[in-house]
Amino acid sequence: MLALIIRISLNPVTRSSILGYNRRMQRRSFFQSFVAFVGSIVLAAVGLGTAIVQGVGSVLHGKGKDENWIKVDEIDHLLPGQPQERTISFRTKDGWEEKTEHQKVLIIYKDGEPVAHSPSCPHLDCPVSLVPEAEKFICKCHMSYFDAKGDVIEGPAPRGLDPLPTKIEDGVLYCRWVRYQSGGSQAVEV
Ligand code: FES
């Protein structure tokens, strides 16, 4: 048996085929390691990119919702006690896209204080506009009317105009931009 092993190992044809087999295995092993290495780098890059996008999106979302108050107007510039409209501007970011949004808000006085309200109709989200001479608001989609306090006086709207979070600081009226679901008798934030 030992003599057979020695003969095989000394045989030049057998030795060269064994060496060739070893080299092929080494090349294959190197190739497999290389592919695994490149694959792990690609996966890590994809994971990092996703984390960055999610991180940026959530930070800005949190800021807009919990920290950033949007200036509506100075109290001295408002018409005391009267319903009125203003346009607010604020930055939004969705993934990598950053832009400035302009939105109309409705100012309604409640208990002597101005409160910003959403301009979206609670019926089906159409825009609500002020009718200054009548001191009321109208949604022309299906003709809902709201009085100077924002309550429904006519039409299919299931509730009054939705108030936005509002504060007055150093003589300035601020609000936060919030969207509410249309339909239903209760305002539910989207
Ligand atoms: S969407 Fe305003 S009345 Fe229908």
Please give the average per-residue pLDDT across 77-93, as a whole number.
Answer: 95
Q: For the whole model, what pTM was predicted?
A: 0.67
Q: What is the pLDDT of residue 173?
A: 98
Tell me which residue has its CA closest to atom 3 in ligand 1.
142
Mean pLDDT, the chain, whole residue set: 79
- Is 20 in the same domain as 96? no
Q: What is the pLDDT of residue 52?
A: 38
Tell me if 123 CB under 6 Å of ligand 1: yes
CATH assignment of the domain containing 89: 2.102.10.10
Residue 158: strand, helix, or coil: coil
Q: How many Å lie between the centroid of ligand 1 and the Cα of residue 177? A: 20
- Is 83 in the same domain as 167? yes
Q: 132-140 long-range CB contacts below 8 Å, 24 or more apart?
A: 132/83, 132/84, 135/82, 135/83, 136/83, 137/83, 137/106, 137/161
Tell me if 86 CB under 6 Å of ligand 1: no
Does the pLDDT at position 148 exceed 60?
yes
Q: What is the pLDDT of residue 183?
A: 96
- Is 96 in the same domain as 148? yes
CA distances to 1, 11, 20, 117 from 7, in Å: 10, 6, 19, 96
Q: How far apart are CA 94 and CA 120, in angstroms?
A: 22
- Give the domain-ending residue among 65, 85, 112: 65
Q: pLDDT per residue over 97-144, tens digit each?
A: 999 999 999 999 999 999 999 999 999 999 999 999 989 999 999 999
Q: How many residues does the chain have?
A: 190
Does the pLDDT at position 5 exceed 70?
no
Q: How far apart are CA 179 and CA 190, in angstroms?
A: 6
Q: pLDDT per residue over 48-60, tens digit each?
A: 443 333 333 333 4
